Amino acid sequence: MYQNHETTSRKYAKKYAKKICQKICQDIILISTNTRSIIGDTGGVFMSKLYKQPVEVRLDGEDLVLFQWRGRWLQVASCERVFVKRDYYDHYSNLPTFRVKARSGGLYDLVKDKAGWVLERVWD
C-alpha cells in the first residue's frame, strides 16, 4: 500500500527521536547529589540542577499541557516518560518521571507523586 512521504517521514522521525532519548538516558552520569550531566550524541554536555519542588500542572486527559514553576505557567511542547537511575533509598525511585520540553525553552524532569507533581530537575 502506498504511504505518502509526510507520514513515512513522521514515522521515522518518531523512531529516531525515541532512540536518541534512550541513548541520552543511558548516558546520564551522576556528578554529585544535586547535579547531573548528559553527554549527547554531538559530544555536548548538558548540566542540571536538582529542585524537588511541588508544581501545579494542567492535564488534557492524560496529556500534560501546562505546569507552573516559580509563579510562571510553562506550556508543554513535548513530554515523554523516561527511566532515571536513582539510588534505591531515594523517595522518587519507583515513581513515574516525565521529561518535559517547554515551548519557551528548557528541559524539565517532573515526577508524579502520590500528593501531586514534583519538579525534580531542570536541565540547562
Domain ranges of the chain: 5-123
Determine the residue type at 99. R
Distances (CA, A) of 74 to 54, 62, 105, 106: 14, 17, 9, 10
Q: How far is CA 30 from the centre of its chain?
A: 16
E-state strands within the chain? 28-32, 35-39, 45-60, 63-69, 72-82, 97-102, 107-112, 117-123
The model's pTM is: 0.61
How far is Cα 110 from Cα 55, in angstroms, rounded to an integer? 9
Whole-angstrom distance, CA of residue 37 vs CA of residue 121: 11
* Alpha helix segments (H runs only) across the chain: 5-26
Tens digit of pLDDT at every position of the chain (124 positions) = 455 555 556 666 666 666 665 555 544 433 333 444 454 445 556 678 888 899 999 999 989 999 999 999 999 999 999 887 666 556 666 788 899 999 998 999 999 888 899 998 898 7
